[in-house]
Structure 1
Amino acid sequence: MQSHPYPQPLDVLREVFGYQAFRPGQDAVIAQLVSGHDVLAIMPTGGGKSLCYQIPALVRPGLAIVVSPLIALIKDQVDALRANGVAAAGLHSGLARDELLEVYSQLWRGDLKLLYVAPERILLPDFLARLQDIPLALIAIDEAHCISQWGHDFRPEYAELGRLKQLFPQVPIAALTATADDATRLDILNRLGLHEPLVHLASFDRPNIRYTLVEKFKPSEQLLHYVQKQAGQCGIVYCTSRKRTEEVADILKVRNYRAACYHAGLPADERARVQDAFIRDDLDIVVATVAFGMGIDKPNVRFVVHYDIPKNIESYYQETGRAGRDGLPAEALLLFDPADIERVRGLLEKNENAEQRQVEIFKLNLMSAFAEAQTCRRQVLLNYFGEYHAEPCGNCDICLDPPKTYDGTEDAQKALSCVYRVGQRYGMGHVIEILRGAQSQRIRELGHDKLSTYGIGKEQSHEYWVSVLRQLIHKGLLVQNITRHLVLQLTEAARPILRGEQALELAVPRTELLSAKKLRRRELELAQGEDAALFRELRKLRKQLAEEEGIPPYVVFNDATLLELAQFRPTTESEMLTINGVGYRKLERFGEVFLECIREHAEL
């Protein structure tokens, strides 16, 4: 197996990938893998997960195997690695026979450093037998939440991946995902059999994304109004049905937008055409089902619209996370109709696996609670993943157009006390029935009509208490335990409220449908003045080079790199190497033409 000239991770980061410093947490994960130990890394979309295994793969001797669920993801990663001069390949069903044989030939010759494979392929007996004879640097399992029954995207083909640790006990394994709650994390660790792993939980916060929800009333008109304000930026519109993706794409095309639909029912060649056109900036908008997007590392997606509500918060987080992967300003718009919740619930009820059905419906309920929340949307999202933020974000529709608030200390004490009085063993509906003094047989049989909290909230409606309890969950004072039939449990943060040591402000509960909110927009101009003119020229040059090379434009340089080039205007190769995203290989391939463009612009 070939050796690599860069013995230190920081050298690889700078000289191969062109970045000057690690993001928070990357260095710890990389050090763990380089030293031969297992890792579970939960890092948000756009948070730099790939580098966490790619760099150790180049530092450690041997071949790195990367298990990845989608052909699109594999192709994208391999293209980007090859552009940086790394010997990488993918094994998947999209390869022609001669391409497949060439990859196998490279593998047996020891010419590869990273090999991407689908989960079902790596477990083929013949393939596993051949791997036994190859020195392995590490095994990385991407989208690791797919292995968990508690995850939002459980995949049966992932279930057997626990065998890898048994077959290769000395090879470090990295499990990586963007989204995993507590139950999912524990399940990943157990199913993969990781040995004393480092569990790295990065911040889920994507402060560059603005989260906005508006009531869905005339969705096609709302979408057209919104897209018009995007002024030609790249975006994705998610719909829950194939038919709707086609209808919405047609609406956009009639208005002369460069748009197309994408769903699993289209022929493979049409899906590939749409995906490639989007990646190459020949399309501005893709209207898609959730079949589109996983692993599409297109950094300059500036907006994501959910035309329909997603099935769970993990999906919403992952899909909105496809906007602004370059760290520049981006927007996530959700069109919400409460009736959509019941429609999706009806679909989920058809799942014959009772345990999986319960998990899916619970997660849908939490997505509904997010949509109906009157507290900072970012706080709700982060709280879901166990990351509590005391301060509102200032960059969501709730923060920018806040609902009315009141001193909710007394309501909170009533609700929290009721949860405590029932032994933290019952769900939201039962707690609300006690608060409202319901006369049900079950309450009498349990003796809950004798509790001190029985009927203390009877002057308020059921919907009122749903809102209060959801806010207490969003604020981290209560949790719903998914592994114990959704019972409400108090957190430590509830103590000072119950004791009257701390006041609590709540949003005035909404008992009617969300009122339509005016669409608000932050300017997404990435550069201004002279910088903007040069930025446009650099984008044209990037598109031209990408077409000549047959690669996506962002594989040349992403928008963040072009923005730095426009702002700092390097004139020498050494100056250009200080720009994030410019490594030695890309400097060699593209440096001179970009420097020439910058010089010509300076002369105008």
Structure 2
Amino acid sequence: MAFSDTLHRFSDDDIIRALGYASDKLGFPDGFRTEQSTALKSYLRGHDLFVSLPTGFGKSVIFQAAPLCVDFLRRLHLPQQDASKKAIALIVMPLRSLISDQMSRAGELNIDAADLTGGINDSIREGLSSSKYSLLFASPEGLLGDDGHELFRIPAFREQLCGLFIDESHCVSKWGCSSKDTKAFRAAYGKLGEVRARFHSAIPTVALTATATKEIRRDVSDNLGLRNFVLIDRSPERQNIKHIVMKSKTKNLDHLFKWMADDIIKYGVATERTIIYCSSRKIVSELYSTFLHYLPKTCQKHVNMFHTNTERDVQETIVNSFADAEGDIRLLIATIAYGMGVDCKGLSQTIIFGRTVNMEDYMQMSGRIGRDNRPSIAISLLYPGDSVGRSTSQSMSDFLKGIRCRREIIREVFGTPHGPDTPIDAHDCCDVCTNACKCNGDTCSAKATNLERGLQHVLGCQGPTEELPLNIPSPAEVDHLERALEDYKTSLVTEGHIYCGEDLVTGFSDGMVKKIVQDCNVEFSYSGFVARYDFPSRQMASDVWSILCTALGRDATSLHVSGQFYSVDTDSEEFDMWSDSEFQEAVIGSDSEDDYFFS
């Protein structure tokens, strides 16, 4: 007898008994949390659900408990031949590392589970036929491909399926939908409604996430075809997290982070655990290399990096280390891929390096910290060029501007936390409130953490900034500029020195030409232009500046025009905040964090 045929047969008393059985099985002798119990009761009555609960709240408990509850109820009401068959929960997850973590957790709980992302082999087929599994983990791409079609042709699976659970369901809205300007990042997420259509309509579908605005909730529910669903919603805001925004005038990684390497050398495994989130795999790799450069080999075990291209065994090492508050890894440099569903212990501080594009991503990343209720800080560290090619939502833009309380903006987007709203001292709320706090007469008594002091020190050592705009030239103007620079280089070559090499003779290399062309989206001041490139003479700098302005139709005396602005530190002696890699990434466009691939 299929699960769909057993719905509405269970009394309230039976359901309460089933929850008690499942909570004991999962190691919760005092029972589930109120929201978990509410979700499971609604599920067992056949309702679709949208569950939005904070990171670390225990959303995974819902899909772990669901088949256990169904099995218990079957044993109460069904003949022995049916009760012996295990109910199966099908769980969709975006990352293999998350599935690996859940597989390990299932093993600890003595729950049989299978990972379908490697395909359906003979062992899995046999396990399905013999009713071995309670949990099946899959990717959306797998379910919509050949493996998914085979899965739904297996009679035992169709008969025992008790629910479809979409973990990190905000991905349905954020990466499954195309627009007139952008192609869907992972189109399979936008087609999960097709998976739902393959099984009996009475089998519940449950969407799970930690960060869902009203708009995302509407997109997800429409896409999955949730019917009269029960909403279980709790704000992802943690009142023990202080929100801070700092602005750097440079993206010089050595300048910004060397002091953290020094701390690791000094304190080793006793170093305060930190995650630095970056917007792309390229920046993650560059920053990781920076730390390895400064750390002796004996200390390099305390630093690692995480993104979807990281080897699976390394990802598992990181996940295992962060599951232990005293784990060896004290600094993790990661993309937002590490912001979903991973258990982090002993973590009370994070740096989000670069501009976050929306509040959902910000809450995913900052939500990794403070899960033990310790006072924690999330620092957004902005740098020049971090907004180029990235569209920031209005709420995120307001949050970063700091015109008013940052926590107030979080609550406008996600709502106020449920339960007693404990008053938050101004100096523990956000940096905006701290700056306005006068709890100690004319000043605030709050003491900065070591992380705050370290960053404040390096940022305080920077010089003044100049605001420069972007000015995007046409393809024809870019071609004109490149030809003009090549002609200028040719004019510098004299016949008697050709055997020395043009680059050496002229001091104006092919690499410099390429660099200037790549950077032409940015409208420098003349002083910024000269500081950016290593011209061998002032005359050459003046000539090239004139060529640039003529080719692009710019006023050689103009420093600013209206448009999109960001900071440039033209007075820095180390004017390398825009490295070649950053311009390739920020100005030309490169691997912004597309790190939800199942690779």
**C-alpha contact 2:59 2:208 (8 A) present in aligned 1:** yes
TM-score calculated relative to the size of structure 1: 0.57
Q: State the one-letter code of the partner of 1:383.
A: E
Q: Distance in 2 between matches of 1:14 and 1:234?
A: 33
Q: Distance in 2 between matches of 1:84 and 1:134?
A: 24
Q: Structure 2: state its 5+ residue gaps.
A: 4-13, 72-86, 178-183, 439-564, 568-599
Q: Secondary structure at the match of 2:126?
A: helix
1:42 aligns with 2:52: yes
Q: Distance in 2 between matches of 1:44 and 1:376?
A: 21
1:82-101 counterparts in 2 under 5 A? 82-93=107-118, 100-101=121-122
Tell me the CA shift for residue 340 of structure 1.
3.8
- Please, which of 107, 128, 131 is the counterpart of residue 110 of structure 1? 131
The residue number in structure 2 matching 1:374 is 403
Tell me the CA shift for residue 80 of structure 1.
1.1
Q: Distance in 2 between matches of 1:51 and 1:378?
A: 29
- Please, which of 356, 371, 376 is the counterpart of residue 310 of structure 1? 356
**C-alpha contact 2:236 2:367 (8 A) present in aligned 1:** no
- Please, which of 315, 319, 325 is the counterpart of residue 365 of structure 2? 319
Q: Distance in 1 between matches of 2:238 and 2:422?
A: 16
- Relative to 1, partners in 2 of residues 1:14 and 1:273: Cα closer, same or farther, differing over 3 Å? closer
Q: Distance in 1 between matches of 2:249 and 2:57?
A: 35
The residue number in structure 1 matching 2:330 is 284
1:178-189 counterparts in 2 under 5 A? 178-189=210-221
- Relative to 1, partners in 2 of residues 1:221 and 1:176: Cα closer, same or farther, differing over 3 Å? same
What is the aligned-residue RMSD (CA, Å)? Answer: 3.7
Q: Distance in 1 between matches of 2:58 and 2:255?
A: 37
Q: Secondary structure at the match of 1:106?
A: helix
- Relative to 1, partners in 2 of residues 1:121 and 1:48: Cα closer, same or farther, differing over 3 Å? same
**C-alpha contact 2:258 2:291 (8 A) present in aligned 1:** yes
Q: Distance in 2 between matches of 1:20 and 1:210?
A: 31
- Paired positions, count: 388
Q: State the one-letter code of the partner of 2:218.
A: L
The residue number in structure 2 matching 1:342 is 387
Deviations 1:457-488 (A, max 9, x none): xxxxxxxxxxxxxxxxxxxxxxxxxxxxxxxx
- Relative to 1, partners in 2 of residues 1:10 and 1:220: Cα closer, same or farther, differing over 3 Å? farther
**C-alpha contact 2:175 2:186 (8 A) present in aligned 1:** no
**C-alpha contact 1:81 1:88 (8 A) present in aligned 2:** yes
**C-alpha contact 1:143 1:177 (8 A) present in aligned 2:** yes
Alignment identity in percent? Answer: 27
- Please, which of 173, 196, 203 is the counterpart of residue 165 of structure 1? 196
Q: Distance in 2 between matches of 1:396 and 1:299?
A: 22
- Please, which of 98, 102, 110 is the counterpart of residue 77 of structure 1? 102
Tell me the CA shift for residue 319 of structure 1.
0.9
- Relative to 1, partners in 2 of residues 1:209 and 1:19: Cα closer, same or farther, differing over 3 Å? farther
Q: Structure 1: state its 5+ residue gaps.
A: 349-360, 406-510, 514-604
**C-alpha contact 1:6 1:59 (8 A) present in aligned 2:** no
Between 283-292 and 187-196, report the one with greater CA deviation: 283-292
Deviations 1:390-420 (A, max 9, x none): 9666423336623489xxxxxxxxxxxxxxx
Q: State the one-letter code of the partner of 1:263.
A: H
Tell me the CA shift for residue 261 of structure 1.
2.5
Q: Distance in 1 between matches of 2:24 and 2:209?
A: 24
Q: Distance in 2 between matches of 1:23 and 1:222?
A: 42
Deviations 1:336-395 (A, max 9, x none): 23x44532xx2x4xxxxxxxxxxxx252x4323211123332221121124488966642
Tell me the CA shift for residue 82 of structure 1.
1.5
- Relative to 1, partners in 2 of residues 1:369 and 1:41: Cα closer, same or farther, differing over 3 Å? same
Q: Distance in 2 between matches of 1:308 and 1:242?
A: 13
Tell me the CA shift for residue 321 of structure 1.
0.8
- Please, which of 103, 113, 136 is the counterpart of residue 161 of structure 2? 136
The residue number in structure 2 matching 1:56 is 66
**C-alpha contact 1:68 1:117 (8 A) present in aligned 2:** yes
Structure 1 or 2, whichever has the larger Rg, is 2
Tell me the CA shift for residue 112 of structure 1.
1.2
**C-alpha contact 2:235 2:415 (8 A) present in aligned 1:** no
Tell me the CA shift for residue 220 of structure 1.
4.6
The residue number in structure 2 matching 1:414 is none
The residue number in structure 2 matching 1:397 is 430
1:127 aligns with 2:122: no
The residue number in structure 2 matching 1:192 is 224
- Relative to 1, partners in 2 of residues 1:41 and 1:213: Cα closer, same or farther, differing over 3 Å? same
